[in-house]
A and B are shown apart, each in its own frame.
Chain A
Amino acid sequence: MNQSKIEVKDLNLSIGNQHILKNINCKIPSRKITVILGSSGCGKSTLLKSMNRLTDLYPKVKISGDILLNNQGIFGKEVEVTDLRKKMGLMSQRPAPLPMSIFDNVAYGLRISGRKKKLQMKLRVEYYLKVVNLWDEVKDRLKAPASSLSIGQQQRLCLARGLAVDPELILADEPTSALDPLSSQVIEKKFMELKDSFTIVWVTHTLRQAKRMADHVIFMYLGEIIEQGPAEEFFNNPQHEITKNFLNGSFN
């Protein structure tokens, strides 16, 4: 069995009097793609965002239970939340490039980490833009605002920006949902390559995408985890009635 990168223990999360995550227990294996699957509104994004503590920012949020990253609790007092977040790159449903140039977007994480050497910065920005196959498209206009890129390019830029912080995990919240099929394919392919070096958590509500990408599946329904396991087992031999219905498409 592979070592698990993240372990969620009895996580409960509510906002106001709305109970959104209920007794979540799961493991995210290291250097694999774990897909969080489930229909809209079941709490996938909330679970993902509690991993880098973005849920701290929700008004009236109450969290109990624990999440371990490399066997260490992330909610502990001694945890520096900015360091925690640097260990996880986040890609959101819609790309959110920073209000600056293409170059500065990738350099941002390096700069706030205190790296200042110009030449090194240039090389690293180039490197990460190449990693996401964006370099050839933007190398002549690195000074142009990031907002001038197409949505698909912006999403790849956001990936490069996240990778430049040198994270251990990538949290991807339906990163292809705003993209055309071709751009989606580019991103999916990139993630298949990245899984050799990163632990990836990928949120989606589309079954087909989950089948294409998953090594490990966590299936959620109405704030609970119904079933989880290696992709093969999950898709071929689902245990739970709700899972079977979901896989049959006789759902919603």
Chain B
Amino acid sequence: MWGIKLIGKKTEELIFKQLMRLANAIILFVIGLIVFTIMRKGLPALSWEIISQVPKGGYYFGGEGGVLNAIVGSIYLAFGATFLAFVISLPSALFINVHLQKHKKLQDIIRLFIDVMWGIPSVVYGAFAFGIMIYMGIRASLMAGIVTVAIFIMPIMIRGMDEVLKMVPKTLFESGLSLGSTKYELSYRIFFKQCIPGIATAILLSFGRAFGDVAAVLFTAGFTDNIPTSLTQPAATLPLAIFFQLSSPIPEVQNRAYAAAAILTFIILAISVFGRMALRKYKKNSIN
């Protein structure tokens, strides 16, 4: 390369190191700024009332109440969707890597297909699901929201798991089979165990997307001031609650939107931290 003649190896390394530092700094700065804004505007408006009550009449015009409906709705929806997506994603990702191990072309095609699905914006999933719901005469409900969000996060989850399963060493594959494992045993007793940390990351990542998404739930889960008591009832979600409150011209209501955003941030943070702590003990067993 021509760069090497102009500057020495040492300088080159130094420059790249500084560039990486800069990149990290920019990311941290942006995250910091967002969190700071949410906290600065949200924390003063945060109160026990917001967390513990559903909206009373006129809440969105500055009346009394809170966003408990949206908190509970979001938790139901995100857990439900993550669980549903997991039940389908794990076997899929294992299938791609264990059963289709021989068929490299097919693997590539499937991966491409899933990557394209990943690129489709959630509003398209929402609209698509909404179309089906109208056709079948289903009304907006927690269930419909869960299914839609599950479909929307599935590509993320499958490819996240796939990327770690891909890294399982070939010798482990061969050792597992040599012991007389069926492909099923190889999948769940060996590949799965080997990849628990990475699989957990894929799940947490998808959970974050499920929790924070607006567009997929807008038409499918609906919105309500009540806490849903069954899967067929509509459910409110935090991102939508934030959106509605931010759209209000009343400053007090806008600040409550930031409070709701702070709650959302805390919940995602808490789940990520607890999720990781709970899974830490599995990390030690992985072979590299």
Contact = CB atoms under 8 A, between A and B. Distances in A.
A47 interface: no
A166 to B, nearest CB: 10
A113 B182 CA distance: 11
Chain A binding surface SS class:
mixed
Interface in A81-129: 82-83, 85-86, 88-90, 92-94, 96-101, 108-109, 112-113
A82 B182 contact: yes
B285 A145 contact: yes
B102 A58 contact: yes
Interface stretch (A62-70, A157-165, A187-195): A157-165
Interface string A140-175: 000001111000000000100110010000010000
A113 B189 CA distance: 13
A88 B175 CA distance: 11
Interface string B176-188: 1111111001000
B189 A90 contact: no
Nearest to A101: B285
B18 interface: no
Among A54, A112, A171, max chain B CB count under 10 A is at: A112
Given A92-B171, A99-B194, A145-B284, A108 B189 contact: yes
B271 to A, nearest CB: 25
Interface string B145-185: 00000000000000000000000010111111111111001
A165 B179 CA distance: 7
A161 B179 contact: yes
B104 interface: yes
B174 to A, nearest CB: 5
B252 to A, nearest CB: 54
Nearest to B178: A90
A96 B174 contact: yes
Contacts of A108: 179, 189
A243 interface: no
A76 interface: no
A57 interface: yes
B287 A165 contact: no
B263 to A, nearest CB: 38
A112 B103 contact: no
A52 interface: yes
B180 A85 contact: yes
A49 to B, nearest CB: 8
B246 interface: no
A112 B178 contact: no
Given A57-B101, A96-B171, A85 B287 contact: no
A99 B178 contact: no
B177 A85 contact: yes
Nearest to A113: B180
19 contacts: A58-B102, A59-B104, A82-B182, A83-B180, A85-B177, A85-B179, A86-B180, A98-B172, A98-B190, A99-B194, A108-B179, A112-B179, A113-B180, A145-B285, A146-B285, A147-B284, A147-B287, A148-B284, A161-B179
Interface of A: 49, 52, 54, 57-59, 82-83, 85-86, 88-90, 92-94, 96-101, 108-109, 112-113, 145-148, 158, 161-162, 165, 171
